[in-house]
């Protein structure tokens, strides 16, 4: 079974943007650099306003099945959180595509560490948008 991940690019998060953000709802502008080898796969992405970005949570060293989220005081199951410390350390975020320039994408809303390895880019489609949702323990916290 082919299960080894490979980096297809790098996510650059300018430090000044992170500092300027301050409050929790501030939105980060990041640059996604897709390695030249994979650039042809970006054809047509500029038609989409939003993309689903998969990346390696490379700073995560271990995980436990119960985590205390930043927004809560109670231990929650890791699969009921977006904690970076999980059995497979893959992060998923929806971002707004602001600009494409060759193998570089400027995006909004990617809450990742600088130099994060990029794993995949997928178009955000109506199937990803759910109208009425219940958000369990997060209710009232975000």
Q: Minimal distance in Å, beta carbon 14 to a second copy?
A: 21
List, as one string, the DSSP characters of 65-79.
Answer: SEE--TT-SS-EEGG
- The single residue among 20, 49, 99, 102 that binds a second copy, judged by CB under 8 A, is 49
Measured from the CB atom, the residue of 22 and 87 that comes closer to a second copy is: 87
State the virtual CA torsion across 101, 106, 112, 116 in degrees, nearest 10. Answer: 10
52-91 footprint of a second copy as x/- string (CB under 8 A) = x-x-x-x------xx--------xxxxxxxx---xxxxx-
CA–CA gap between residue 129 and residue 138 (Å, rounded) = 18
Q: Which residue has the tokens 């009232």?
A: 140
29 vs 54 by CB, closer to a second copy: 54
Residues 90-109 that bind a second copy (CB under 8 A): 90, 92-94, 96, 109
H-helix or E-strand spanning residue 16:
helix 15-21
CB of 74 to a second copy, least distance (A): 9
* 31 torsion bin: left (phi>0), alpha (psi -120 to 50), beta (else): beta
Q: Applying CB under 8 A, does 45 fall inside the site for a second copy?
A: yes
Distance CA 53, CA 68 (A): 25
Contact residues toward a second copy (CB under 8 A) are 1-6, 8, 34, 38, 40-52, 54, 56, 58, 65-66, 75-82, 86-90, 92-94, 96, 109, 117, 119-139, 142
């Amino acid at each position: 079974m082919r299960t080894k991940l490979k980096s297809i690019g790098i996510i650059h998060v300018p430090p000044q943007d992170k500092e300027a953000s301050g409050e929790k709802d501030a939105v980060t502008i990041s640059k996604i650099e897709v390695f030249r080898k994979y650039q042809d796969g970006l054809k047509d992405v500029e038609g989409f306003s939003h993309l689903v970005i998969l990346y390696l949570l490379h700073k995560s060293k271990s995980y436990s099945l119960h985590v205390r989220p930043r927004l809560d005081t109670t231990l929650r199951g890791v699969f009921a959180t977006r904690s970076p410390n999980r059995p497979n350390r893959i992060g998923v975020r929806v971002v707004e595509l602001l600009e494409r320039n060759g193998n570089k994408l400027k995006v909004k809303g990617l809450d990742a560490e600088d130099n994060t390895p990029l794993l995949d880019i997928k178009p955000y489609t109506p199937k990803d948008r759910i109208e009425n949702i219940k958000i369990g323990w997060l209710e009232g916290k975000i």
